Amino acid sequence: MSSIFPDILSRIDAASRILVISHDRPDGDAIGSSLALGLMLKKLGKDVEVMNQDPVPESLAFLPKTETILSPGEMIDADLVFSVDAAGRDRIGKAVWDCVPEKAFLINIDHHVSNTEFADLNCVDSKAPATGQILFQLAEAGGWELDPGIAELLYAAISTDTGSFRYPSTTSETMRIGGELLRAGVSAGRVNQMLYENYPRRRVEALRILLQDLRFDFDGKCASVQLPLSVTEELSLGLGDTEGVIDVIRAIDSVIIAVFFEELPGGRIRVSSRSKDPHYSVGEICAHFGGGGHTLAAGARLAGPLDDAVARFLDRIRSTFESN
Ligand SMILES: [Mn+2]
């Protein structure tokens, strides 16, 4: 992994205008990683823009410089482009690609095991729990100086992808980096409060409605909830409002696989899934439906209607339980 860092560093040296992009519906790792990289490159004297197809979720807007993230508009004059935390080209969105000049050199930094290595240079570490961790290591390799803002972005990136340094992907290296980020000026109490104890009321209202129809299958080993578009509209739910639902149901003692089904405008069904046991890979289940992710956290998009998608996905989970 770190063997690719010198190549990346020399590409940065040679570049003057850099664009940083990430996946659509950005999460904490996407926002934290793309802004942290953008700010670190700026400190090196580069001209940098950060772009995302979708707006910053309200829950992450407290992070430094989120207001500087561009929405797709005009073509960006860049000679180097970084894609961070995106498993494939299609995860970034066509509107963003329309702003990326074809001549630009593309570097892909990511931690998804399903990464398609779509760039000119690919730095993919599927053991890393977050792209933010790889970026911290890159910063160390480059001898880059962090400031409290950059450190907070990297901390948020790693914290949100590890369930606050709790998931099995959390290693001693992750904890070391967490410590370094605190040393660089992050206030753990404040960031954690902003990330995990600052929900809008509608997020908890959504949880109340979703849990009314909490469903258990396969002797309680699978728990799932469904969010019809009508509820999304009724509660004016935005990006990020339903993110915590799956963590609540995966915390049930009997549950090995937790699934969240969300009906999207247009009728497709977005599926988020989590596993607590590497023998039951939700990454493989999602890959069957053209999605991807990690062994313990993965997603896919299925054709609707909702009932039908639920039935097909649960059927696949049944086979996973039966074949193990
Ligand atoms: Mn990530």
Per-domain residue ranges of the chain: 2-196, 203-322
Note the pLDDT of residue 240: 73
Q: pLDDT exceeding 70 applies to what percent of the chain?
A: 100
User: 111 CA to middle of ligand 1, Å?
Assistant: 6
CATH 3.90.1640.10 holds for 2-196: yes
89-93, 202-206, 283-287, 305-309, range with the lowest pLDDT? 202-206
User: 85 CA to middle of ligand 1, Å?
Assistant: 5
What average pLDDT does the structure give for the chain? 95
78, pLDDT greater than 80:
yes
Question: What pLDDT digit, counting tens, does each position of 16-64 carry?
Answer: 999 999 999 999 999 999 999 999 999 999 999 999 999 999 889 999 9
User: 92 CA to middle of ligand 1, Å?
Assistant: 13
Note the pLDDT of residue 2: 74
User: 322 CA to middle of ligand 1, Å?
Assistant: 30
Note the pLDDT of residue 200: 86
| CA–CA distance, 179 with 173 (Å, rounded to integer) | 10
Instruction: Give the number of C-alpha atoms closer than 13 A to the C-alpha of residue 155, restricted to the C-beta side.
Output: 27
User: 240 CA to middle of ligand 1, Å?
Assistant: 15
- What is the average per-residue pLDDT within 70-82? 96
Note the pLDDT of residue 1: 62
User: 30 CA to middle of ligand 1, Å?
Assistant: 6
User: 234 CA to middle of ligand 1, Å?
Assistant: 30
Beta bridge partners of 269: 263, 302
| CA–CA distance, 82 with 63 (Å, rounded to integer) | 20
| Strand, coil or helix: 124 | strand
List the strands of the sheet with 121-124, edge to edge: 47-51, 17-22, 80-84, 105-110, 121-124
Q: Output the six-digit token pair for 105.
A: 């050199």
Note the pLDDT of residue 322: 93
CATH class of 203-322: alpha beta
Question: What pLDDT digit, counting tens, does each position of 274-285 carry?
Answer: 999 999 999 999
239, pLDDT greater than 80:
no
User: 294 CA to middle of ligand 1, Å?
Assistant: 10
Which class for 290: exposed (0-12), middle (13-18), buried (19 or more C-beta within 10 A)?
A: exposed
Note the pLDDT of residue 84: 98
Note the pLDDT of residue 133: 98
User: 34 CA to middle of ligand 1, Å?
Assistant: 11
User: 91 CA to middle of ligand 1, Å?
Assistant: 12
